[in-house]
Structure 1
Amino acid sequence: MATRMGARFTGDLSALRYEPVAKRVRAVASGRTLAGSRRAVLVWEPKRVVPSYAFPLADLRATLTPAGEAASPEHPVRLAEGGPPVLDPRTAFAVHTCAGEPLTLAAGDVTLPGAGFRPADPDLADHVVLDFAAFDEWLEEAEPIVGHPRDPFARIDIRRGDSRVLIEVDGVVVADSAAPRMLFETGITTRYYLPRADVRMDLLTPSDTRTTCAYKGHATYWSVGAHRDLAWTYDEPLSDARDVAGLIAFLTERVDVVLDGERLPRPVTPWS
């Protein structure tokens, strides 16, 4: 029987997973490099869909002390309707879903409580997983990365489209375009990025919300009427997303999309 590759990659989300990387990876806090290695590995704790970097003990430039358990709530979501629950990536690092020891890192005048975790697993016993958010800067080779480490099994593809895309909010057409850029991202529903000339910008109100995507960069948002943060754009995207710079995308989970005359069902995702 043939194997569907998507199911293969998502079928073991309840397991502790890891993958070595060849890049030189560094973690910096307050101008001090606390970890640097060409032997780092990506680690996904059970129910995590976003990886974290782990470093061999020998490549840490910090003193490690037990941190104790920190009380932090889980935020379970489903990637698709009927799928198994996973942790929303906004769930704090302090939520650990496998056995191990939380650790505090200290070097000089820098102390990062609970920013490390040593899994009780024979393949990772000599490694410490680090909290991406606890550090001021992360570097892969000489290039900064944002948001979280990139998943080597995920990617984005952007294609110019000639389909007609209508976006409706409460029955009102807020966008009508025959020149969409269609962004296909592993494990995420298709996003339609539309030229501003094809969007009723007079119906959009700027929001103060900002988010960061490891693959696309920093996004700014708009609300539509009472619907907060319904649209977004990347004004200065990362290299992989340059083709959608300045274009407007809508949260298809909360608007109605008509594609070439066919009204699409709203996808069920963590953003529904």
Structure 2
Amino acid sequence: MATRPADLMMGALCDLRIHPVRTWVRATSGGVTVVDTRDAALVWEPRRVVASYAVPRADVTGDLVPWDGTAGAEHAVRIGHDGPSVLDPRTPFSVHTAAGRAWSIATSSGVLEGAAFVADDPDLDGLVVLDWSVFDEWREEEERAYGHPRDPYHRIDCLRSSRHVTLSIGGQVVADTRRPTYLYETNLPPRVYVPAEDVRTDLLSTSPTITYCAYKGRASYFSLGAGDARIEDVAWTYEAPLHDGRPVAGLICFYAERFDETVDGVPQERPVTPWS
């Protein structure tokens, strides 16, 4: 019987996973370089879909201090209609699903509360797992890194198309294009990016929301409607995406989970994702 690699990946989501990486990794806090390593690893705690960097203890500048703070709340979501329950990226680093001990890092610029985790697993012996969000800046080689560590099993492909795509909500068409760009991203539904000229931009208003993607960069958002009828953060754009996402620069993408989409006249099923 044939094996689907995606099934293997899904089947391991509840395991503690590790993958060595060869990039030179650095992180700063308060202008001080706290992490500087050429021996990093990616670590996914059980049920995590986004990895954290783990580095040798010797490559962390500062003292590890036991941390007994509040772990925070899980944000559990289900992947697909019958997939496993996982922790989406809103779940704070302090929620640990592997056995081990949480630590703070005391540096010359201050204490990074709960920023480190030392797992009991012998395969992680000598490594400290780090909270991406508490550092001011991460670099992989000389490239600024955003959002979270890049996953070697995760990629994006941007492909121009001539399919006829419409997106509507409540019977109101908000996008109608014959020149979409499809963005295919591992383990996510295809995203349709539309030229602004083919969007009812008069129905959109800018949102203060900003997010960062490790593969595409900085996204700014749009809300739909106004007043009591306003629906927040239903679309986004990358004005200056990272190199992998350059084909979608300036295009607008809508959450297919929230809109009625047709492709060449055929209605599409709404995908089930954490954003449904």
TM-score norm. by structure 2 comes to: 0.97
Please name the residue that 2:3 is paired with.
Answer: 3
Please name the residue that 2:270 is paired with.
Answer: 266
Please name the residue that 2:67 is paired with.
Answer: 67
Is 1:35–2:35 an aligned residue pair?
yes
Q: Number of matched residues?
A: 272
Please name the residue that 1:159 is paired with.
Answer: 159
Please name the residue that 2:123 is paired with.
Answer: 123
Match of 2:260 among 256, 259, 263: 256
**Aligned-pair distance for 1:69?**
4.7
- Determine the C-alpha separation between the residues in 2 that align with 1:109 and 1:202: 47
Please name the residue that 1:19 is paired with.
Answer: 19
What percent identity do the matched residue pairs reach?
Answer: 51
Q: Any idea what SS the aligned residue of 1:28 has? A: strand
Query: Deviations for 1:168-191, whole angstroms, at most 9, x for unmatched residues?
Result: 111111111000000000000000
Please name the residue that 2:249 is paired with.
Answer: 245
- Determine the C-alpha separation between the residues in 2 that align with 1:151 and 1:70: 28
- Determine the C-alpha separation between the residues in 1 that align with 2:141 and 2:70: 32
Matching of residues 128-207 of structure 1 within 5 Å: 128-207=128-207
Q: Any idea what SS the aligned residue of 1:189 has? A: coil
- Determine the C-alpha separation between the residues in 1 that align with 2:22 and 2:220: 33
The code of the aligned residue for 2:166 comes to: L
**Aligned-pair distance for 1:217?**
0.9
Please name the residue that 1:230 is paired with.
Answer: 234
- Determine the C-alpha separation between the residues in 2 that align with 1:152 and 1:215: 11
Q: Any idea what SS the aligned residue of 1:53 has? A: strand
Q: Any idea what SS the aligned residue of 1:197 has? A: helix
Q: After TM superposition, what 4+ stretches of structure 1 lie above 6 angstroms from structure 2?
A: none
Matching of residues 96-107 of structure 1 within 5 Å: 96-107=96-107
Q: Any idea what SS the aligned residue of 2:9 has? A: helix
Query: Deviations for 1:213-267, whole angstroms, at most 9, x for unmatched residues?
Result: 1111111111122322111101111111010000010000000100001000111
The code of the aligned residue for 2:258 comes to: R
Q: Any idea what SS the aligned residue of 1:104 has? A: strand
Q: Any idea what SS the aligned residue of 2:206 has? A: strand
The code of the aligned residue for 1:183 comes to: L
The code of the aligned residue for 1:93 comes to: F
Query: Deviations for 1:16-37, whole angstroms, at most 9, x for unmatched residues?
Result: 0000000110111111111111
Query: Deviations for 1:48-73, whole angstroms, at most 9, x for unmatched residues?
Result: 00000001112111111111252311
- Determine the C-alpha separation between the residues in 1 that align with 2:237 and 2:23: 30
- Determine the C-alpha separation between the residues in 2 that align with 1:198 and 1:25: 41
Asked if the contact 2:139–2:145 (Cα under 8 Å) also holds between the matched residues in 1, the reply is: yes
- Determine the C-alpha separation between the residues in 2 that align with 1:174 and 1:60: 50
Which runs of 5 or more residues in structure 1 are unaligned? none
Please name the residue that 1:81 is paired with.
Answer: 81
Q: Any idea what SS the aligned residue of 1:188 has? A: coil
The code of the aligned residue for 2:37 comes to: S
